Structure formats: C-alpha cells, structure tokens
C-alpha cells in the first residue's frame, strides 16, 4: 500500500511509461498535478486495506451505471447541439489559440486574461495575428449566461467557451476508446496481481475513473483543440503549465499531427515541490515545446529537471502591479490567504477562530479566493466570526490589504511572493506533511512556517521583521520579472 503521495506520483508515472502508455493520461487519475489534500483524496483506495478483489467487484458492479450515464450524455448532446455549432462558427479563422480557464473571475475580466495576462492582446494588436481564447467550462450549467459574459471582453480577438458535451456521434467514439483503455487497465491489474501488487492496485482502482466527468472533459477538450488545429492558418497553441494530464495529452497529440504546431506552455503561477505533474511531464518530455516562465528562478528550476524543452523567461503582469504606496505605516494587522478550496479555507477559519482570542491587539483579515464557492458549513462559521470586533472578511484589492499589514498567513499562493514587495512578513501555514506547497520553500530565512495557532502567536511576539527592500526586490523579481514580449519568438505570420 502506498502512503506517500510523491512516491505514488512516481509509481503512477512508472505504470504509464512501462505498461499502459501515455494515452491513458486522458484519464486524470494517472497524473497528480499538485499534491494538495483535495487532489489526492481520490487515491484513498491505494492506501486502504480493502482487498483488490473487492475493488474489482465494485468496479464491475458500476458497469450498468456507466451505461446509463452514457445514455444521459447522448440525450444531452441532442439538447445542447447548439453549443458545438457556435463553437465551430467562431474558431474557423484562428491562427493562435490560447487555452485558458473559464473561472468566474476570469470571465468577468474585461481587458486581460487571468492566466495569460495581456499576451493575447499583444499578439493580436502588435503582431496582427488572429487569436482565439478558449475557456474551459467550469460550470455544469450556465453555458448561455457565461457565454454572454464574453461579450464584454476585448473585441480584437475571439473568446469561446468550451462546450460541455461532445457532438452526438463523437460520444460513441469516446465510449469505445475509453472502454478499450479501461479494459487494458483491467488486464494489467490482473496480470500484475501477484508480481507487482502496487501496480495491480493502481490499475484496478483506476477503472471507474475512465468513465468519470473529468476523463470525458479531457477527451472533449482534446477533440475541440484538434478541430481548431485543422484550420488552414492555424500555427500556434498556448497552454498554461501546471502539470495537469490534459496538457501532456494535447501536446503529444498535436505534435503527431502535421503540419508542425508551435506549442508554448506558460507557467503563470508559482511552482512548488508538490507540483508532481510538472516534474513528471518534464522528466519524460520528448517534444519540441517552449516553456515560458514568470522569472529566472523557475527557468533554472525547470532546466534542472529537463534540458529538452526550450525555456524563455517571459515575465508576468504581476510584476507591474506590485509595490504601490509602500511608504504607508504598518498596522497591527494580519492578512490570511488560503487556497481556493473549502478544505483549505476551513483550516484557515479554524486557525483564525483560535488566534483572534490570543492576539486581540491585531486586526485579522481573511481574503477569500475569488473563485471559491463556499459551502453552508463555512458560511455558518464565518457568520459567527463576523461578530468579533477584530475580524473582517476583505472586500478590498490585494494592494489595500497588504500595504499596511505586518503579516501575511498563506498556503500555496502567489500572494506569498507578492507580500515581500509590500514589506509584509510571509508565514506559511500548513501541516508539516504539506511543506511542499510553500511557494517560498527556497527562502526559509525570510518565510516562516507554522502548524498551529500557538506557533503563530510565538512569531507575533517576536515582532514584525523583514529584510531590506533591496533584498526583497531582487527576490521578487527572481520569481516575477517584468513582462518582456521581445523574448517571445514566433514564426507565425499575419494573414489579416
């Protein structure tokens, strides 16, 4: 049984490379992009004492349910056929495709993309290229409503929301191909039952996930990108680089289809040691891709893993938004910035509920992630916390929150790096087993770590300390350097 998730990530990769093949990455079960509790909880069967035969029996029992789900998908594809018709009309002239994410916060941004910044604007305006931004669909419903939000975006290039359902006939291809892959996983699980129990457990436990929504979404995304690839003038694809399985699936598929496509992977957010998917991709990368980074630190970090890709330090728009009103006097104020999940937010709320009574001289400010959908349990807990005089939920932007804050308590967030520019002391809060989520892991003299409220109180008693501005400026620029579009070399020519 596998207990450590980094070991599990390595084992998953070994099963792919030696037995199943990377085409099985269409099923995201085989790629842990980031070792957070939310992403790793689906692997509970791998560390449980449930017999493999019982897991196999359960998967076989689910077959009728998979068939019913497939029938529901066929029905929905008939009702929602217009989504694919609209998609086909809007992508016909695409030269450069940006694959972004349709989070609510991103859909509401009028002038830039939350992940690629102003890069699509630059290529459309300065290079005169026909750009399209394709947003993965984050909502089960609201397709029409979210599509209307795109009408407020920059009109110099197209914005398309990815359909939720495949065209009717493509669903049969999906079901046949994933059934074939699931059968291969089953055969491997049985063949390795005695000689490699870990590989056997992984393969058997993965069977039901071939028919889950996440696998269907990966298949749908791949086929829509291939559809755009067939456009006459299409030449370049930009993906975010976070270690997700679909990134490698799309890259490998497009590389195998002539004519050649220039592929760029943009590391738009901080990479931490627990980004297992990034490591797995780079170690096995044999494609001529270009990886764009936000700063020299990540360029060197990636090079140490693999020399195969071309690396370019592009920079980030985050650098231009840092360091405003830095001469404002600091207050007795702590800002808390959890990840955008209910689990992480709940842990931070628990911490605040304890610390507010131990440090009444401080104002405690909670910054909720803009794309977080609070469950009712957390709403109730926040309702109780709001009654306290020294607690508030932030409604301000990052600049106003950090500019006069002495401390920032964070998890795995770019805010940890940005706090240095604001002269706030960053404090990483997590269980010791999750230290690999710290974005400032390489700078433990600047960023302190705590596991509970008592440790946090001890740090508060030491007083607000931060290195000289010249040191933090160099450090921040190493992570988030100024955006330099001249570093981006493209062979694509305008056809406008």
Along the 496 residues of the chain, how does pLDDT read in single tens digits? 445 788 889 999 999 999 999 999 999 999 999 998 888 888 988 878 889 999 999 998 999 999 999 999 999 999 988 888 888 888 888 999 999 998 888 988 888 899 999 999 999 988 899 999 999 976 767 788 888 888 888 777 889 999 999 999 999 999 999 999 999 999 999 999 999 999 999 999 999 999 999 999 999 999 999 999 998 889 999 999 999 999 999 999 999 999 999 999 999 999 999 999 999 999 999 888 999 999 999 999 999 999 999 999 999 988 765 555 555 678 899 999 998 889 999 999 999 999 999 999 999 999 998 888 888 999 999 999 999 999 999 998 888 899 999 999 999 789 999 999 888 999 999 998 899 999 999 988 899 999 999 999 999 988 877 888 888 889 999 999 999 998 998 766 555 5
450 forms beta bridges with 429
Query: Which CATH code fits 81-164+230-318?
Result: 3.40.50
Query: Which CATH code fits 331-479?
Result: 3.40.50.2000
Cα angle for residues 99, 100, 103 (degrees, 5° grid)? 150
| Rounded-to-integer distance, Cα 29 and Cα 246, Å | 11
HEC letters along 214-232: HHHHHHHHHHHHHHHHCCC
| Rounded-to-integer distance, Cα 406 and Cα 362, Å | 10
| Rounded-to-integer distance, Cα 226 and Cα 229, Å | 5
- What is the chain's length? 496
Q: Phi and psi at residue 160, in whole multiples of 5°?
A: -130, 135
212 CB-near residues (< 8 Å, 6+ apart) = none
Helices 81-90 and 63-79 cross at an angle (nearest 10°) of 60
List, by residue range, all CATH 3.40.50.2000 domains of the chain: 331-479
DSSP state of 329: P
**DSSP letters spanning 59-110:** HHHTHHHHHHHHHHHHHHHHHTHHHHHHHHHHTTT-SEEEEEEE-HHHHT-S
CB 253 within 8 Å of CB 222: yes
Q: What is the pTM of this model?
A: 0.92
């Amino acid at each position: 049984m596998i207990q450590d998730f980094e070991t599990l990530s390595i084992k998953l990769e070994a099963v792919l490379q030696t037995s199943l093949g990377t085409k099985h990455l269409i099923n995201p079960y085989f790629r842990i992009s980031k070792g957070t509790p939310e992403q790793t909880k689906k692997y509970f069967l791998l560390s449980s004492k449930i017999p493999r035969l019982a897991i196999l029996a359960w998967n076989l029992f689910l077959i009728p349910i998979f068939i019913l789900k497939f029938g529901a998908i066929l029905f929905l594809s008939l009702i929602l056929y217009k989504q694919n018709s609209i998609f086909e009309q809007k992508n016909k002239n695409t030269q450069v495709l940006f694959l972004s994410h349709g989070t609510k916060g991103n859909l509401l941004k009028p002038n830039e993309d939350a992940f690629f910044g102003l890069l699509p604007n630059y290529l459309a305006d300065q290079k005169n290229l026909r750009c399209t931004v394709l947003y993965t669909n984050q909502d089960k419903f609201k397709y029409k409503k979210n599509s209307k939000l795109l009408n407020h975006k920059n009109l110099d290039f197209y914005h398309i929301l990815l359909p939720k359902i495949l065209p009717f006939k493509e669903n049969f291809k999906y079901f046949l191909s994933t059934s074939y892959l699931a059968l291969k996983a089953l055969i491997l699980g049985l063949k390795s039952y005695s000689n490699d129990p870990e590989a056997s457990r992984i393969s058997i436990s993965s069977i039901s996930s071939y028919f889950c929504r996440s696998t269907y979404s990966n298949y749908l995304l791949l086929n829509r990108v291939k559809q755009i690839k067939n456009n006459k003038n299409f030449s370049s694809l930009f993906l975010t680089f976070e270690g997700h399985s679909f990134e490698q699936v799309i890259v490998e598929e497009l590389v195998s289809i002539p004519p050649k496509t220039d592929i760029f992977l943009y590391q738009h957010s901080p990479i931490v040691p627990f980004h297992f998917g990034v490591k797995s991709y780079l170690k096995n990368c044999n494609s001529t891709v270009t990886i764009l980074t936000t700063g020299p630190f990540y360029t060197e970090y990636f090079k140490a893993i693999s020399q195969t890709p071309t690396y370019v330090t592009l920079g980030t728009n985050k650098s231009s938004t840092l360091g405003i009103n830095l001469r404002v006097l600091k207050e007795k104020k702590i800002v808390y910035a959890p990840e955008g999940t209910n689990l992480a937010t709940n842990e931070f709320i628990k911490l605040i509920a304890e610390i507010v009574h131990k440090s009444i001289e401080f104002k405690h400010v909670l910054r909720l992630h803009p794309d977080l959908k609070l469950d009712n349990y957390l709403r109730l807990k926040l309702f109780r916390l709001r009654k306290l005089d020294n607690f508030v939920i932030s409604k301000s932007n990052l600049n106003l929150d950090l500019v006069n804050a002495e401390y920032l308590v964070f998890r795995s967030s770019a805010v940890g790096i940005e706090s240095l520019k604001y002269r706030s002391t960053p404090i990483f809060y997590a269980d010791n087993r999750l230290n690999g989520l710290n974005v400032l892991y390489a700078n433990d003299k600047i960023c302190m770590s705590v596991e509970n409220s008592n440790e946090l109180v001890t740090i508060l008693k030491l007083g607000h300390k931060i290195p000289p501005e010249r040191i933090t400026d160099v450090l921040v620029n190493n992570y988030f350097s100024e955006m330099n579009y001249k570093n981006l070399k493209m062979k694509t020519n305008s056809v406008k």
